[in-house]
Structures are given as C-alpha cells and as structure tokens.
C-alpha cells in the first residue's frame, strides 16, 4: 500500500482527533492509583471519548474487546483491561489509545507510575519518553525512516535497556494503521525517505532487560520474555517542511509524567533535560 500524503487541512483534522486523545490520557491519569482496576480505566476513557462525539479507535479493531490497551509491569502492549487486574503501589502502567474523529485517526501512549515506583522504573519510564522525543526530532523531510529508529535505539541501549523489535510504529491518518512501518531500531541511512505530509505514529517500546517478547495465552497481551519491566510512549506526528509537529499533545504541555502525577521532579532519577515537546 502506498504512503498517504496529507494536506495541512487534513493534518488539522488529525490534530483535532489527537487533542481528544491527549485529553483522554490526562483524565485517565487522575484515576491511576492503587486499588483501581484496568476495567475502570477503560470505562473512563470510553465515556470521555464518546462525550466528545468521537469513537475509540481500538474498540473492535481486529477483534480487540476494549477501548484502551492497559499494560502493567512486564506487559509491553495490547493488554486487555479487566476487573481482575487491580493496580498496586509500585506498578508501571502503560496506556495506549486511539481516537477516530470526523474520519481521522490519532494514536498515543503514555506510561505512568502507580504511586511510588522503584528507581529502575523511574529511569525506564523517563528514558523511554526521551527516546520518543529523540525519535520525533528525526522526523524531518529528506531524512530516512531509519533515522528515527537509530535515535531511539542509541538512547535506549546507551542506558542499558532493550528495544523491542517485533513491534513497530506506523503511518496513520485516514486509518489507524497505514504505511510506512516505523521501527524503533535501525540505521539512519536505511528505509523510506521521509516527505512532507507524512503522518507517523512513533512509539518506542523499551524493556528493562532483553528485547525479546512473547504473546500471552489471551492471544493479545505481549510481555517481556524475561519478566522485567517495559515502558511505552507514543505520539502521532505530522512531518512538515519546517519540522515535525506533534498532533497528540498541545504545544508546550508538561511531558514529565512524574510531575503530572504529583511527584517531585528531583525524584525522577533521569531528567528530561534537552527533551522538548
């Protein structure tokens, strides 16, 4: 399938979808605490997205039974919210969600600490978010897709973490999944040349240990093979002649998940210095 090129008007439509997705995450974070089930979070997301006259893009996609993906600790992606999964102090929770609004799609993921987490978890979460912004910075006209993956891989591996290889980012816009694939590893001179008007879902999935993963018995949830923690961040990004534009977050928004959860920034372990939205 050919790569779609979007007009500035269409990008504006994708951004409208993306702002609903961002606002959904910001509402979800207010419900993340010990004792809450992932099914409750799914209900919060469902209610908000429908209240905005939008649709949850994941519900029914390839048969997926929920509005959001919720992944706790060693779960990487595609976790199914349920009443039995109760958040506990110290958990690491990744939430991935998509929104369909007026025929345009957005896709975005955030990873959150549940209460006070370990120093390893703090570092993994922060480095994974740094990886995302380093990858976004490479979404420049005439770069190649490999430049995004190289930036992500170098930063993750230099901090001792593993980059998931079996799952990748993707194009997005009129459908939730479009061409091209956007790996989180590679070399900057490899892959398709990036053009203005491309819209990409860039989504590093970074593990505390090995990059190897497997699919759980529910046939959806992907987990780390060694049982160690994983983190996942994602933004929908439009490529323009003047640089990348994030469609799933307002310009200048606070990106530090620890501060957004009310933690002191001094406790984040690895700072977000040099990483901008």
What whole-number distance in Å separates Cα of residue 92 and Cα of residue 48?
23
Instruction: Kindly state the DSSP code that residue 126 receives in the 8-state scheme.
Output: H
Contacts of 188 (CB under 8 A, 6+ apart): 138, 143, 144, 146, 147, 150, 151
Q: What pTM value is reported for the model?
A: 0.95
What whole-number distance in Å separates Cα of residue 41 and Cα of residue 32?
8
Give the three-state DSSP class for 190: coil
Q: List Cα–Cα distances, 176 to 24, 171, 264, in angstroms.
A: 17, 8, 36
What whole-number distance in Å separates Cα of residue 184 and Cα of residue 156?
10
Instruction: Supply the pLDDT for residue 263.
Output: 82
Instruction: Supply the pLDDT for residue 269.
Output: 44
Average pLDDT along the chain, 277 residues, taken 10 residues at a time: 94 98 98 98 98 98 98 98 98 98 98 97 97 98 98 98 98 98 97 98 98 97 98 98 97 94 60 48
What whole-number distance in Å separates Cα of residue 51 and Cα of residue 43?
12
Q: Are 141 and 159 in contact (CB under 8 A)?
A: no
Q: Which CATH class is domain 8-267?
A: alpha beta
Instruction: Supply the pLDDT for residue 271.
Output: 52
Instruction: Supply the pLDDT for residue 273.
Output: 45
Instruction: Supply the pLDDT for residue 272.
Output: 53
Instruction: Supply the pLDDT for residue 1.
Output: 66
Instruction: Supply the pLDDT for residue 266.
Output: 42
Residue with tokens 């590093």: 204
Q: List Cα–Cα distances, 197 to 8, 155, 200, 234, 270, in angstroms.
A: 8, 27, 10, 19, 34
What whole-number distance in Å separates Cα of residue 32 and Cα of residue 94?
11
Residue with tokens 């307002």: 250
Return the H-helix or E-strand segment holding 111.
Answer: strand 104-113
């Amino acid at each position: 399938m050919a790569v779609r090129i979007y007009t500035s008007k269409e990008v504006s439509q994708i951004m409208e979808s993306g702002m609903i997705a961002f606002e959904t995450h910001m509402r979800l974070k207010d419900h993340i605490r010990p004792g809450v089930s992932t099914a409750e979070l799914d209900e919060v997301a469902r209610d908000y997205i429908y209240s905005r006259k939008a649709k949850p893009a994941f519900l029914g996609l390839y048969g997926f039974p929920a509005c959001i993906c919720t992944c706790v600790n060693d779960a990487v992606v595609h976790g199914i919210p349920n009443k039995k999964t109760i958040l506990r102090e110290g958990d690491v929770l990744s939430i991935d969600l998509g929104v369909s609004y007026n025929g345009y799609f957005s896709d975005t993921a955030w990873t959150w600490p549940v209460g006070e987490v370990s120093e390893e978890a703090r570092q993994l979460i922060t480095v994974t978010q740094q990886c995302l912004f380093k990858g976004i910075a490479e979404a420049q006209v005439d770069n190649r897709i490999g430049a995004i993956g190289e930036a992500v891989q170098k930063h993750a591996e230099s901090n001792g973490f593993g980059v998931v290889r079996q799952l990748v980012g993707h194009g997005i816009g009129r459908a939730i999944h479009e061409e091209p694939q956007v790996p989180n590893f590679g070399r900057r001179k490899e892959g398709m040349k990036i053009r203005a008007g491309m819209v990409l879902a860039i989504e590093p999935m970074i593990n505390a240990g090995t990059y190897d993963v497997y699919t759980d018995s529910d046939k959806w949830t992907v987990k780390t093979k060694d049982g160690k923690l994983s983190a996942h961040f994602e933004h929908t990004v439009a490529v323009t002649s003047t640089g990348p534009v994030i469609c799933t977050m307002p310009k200048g928004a606070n990106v530090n998940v620890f501060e957004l959860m009310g933690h002191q920034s001094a406790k984040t372990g690895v700072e977000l210095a040099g990483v901008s939205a």
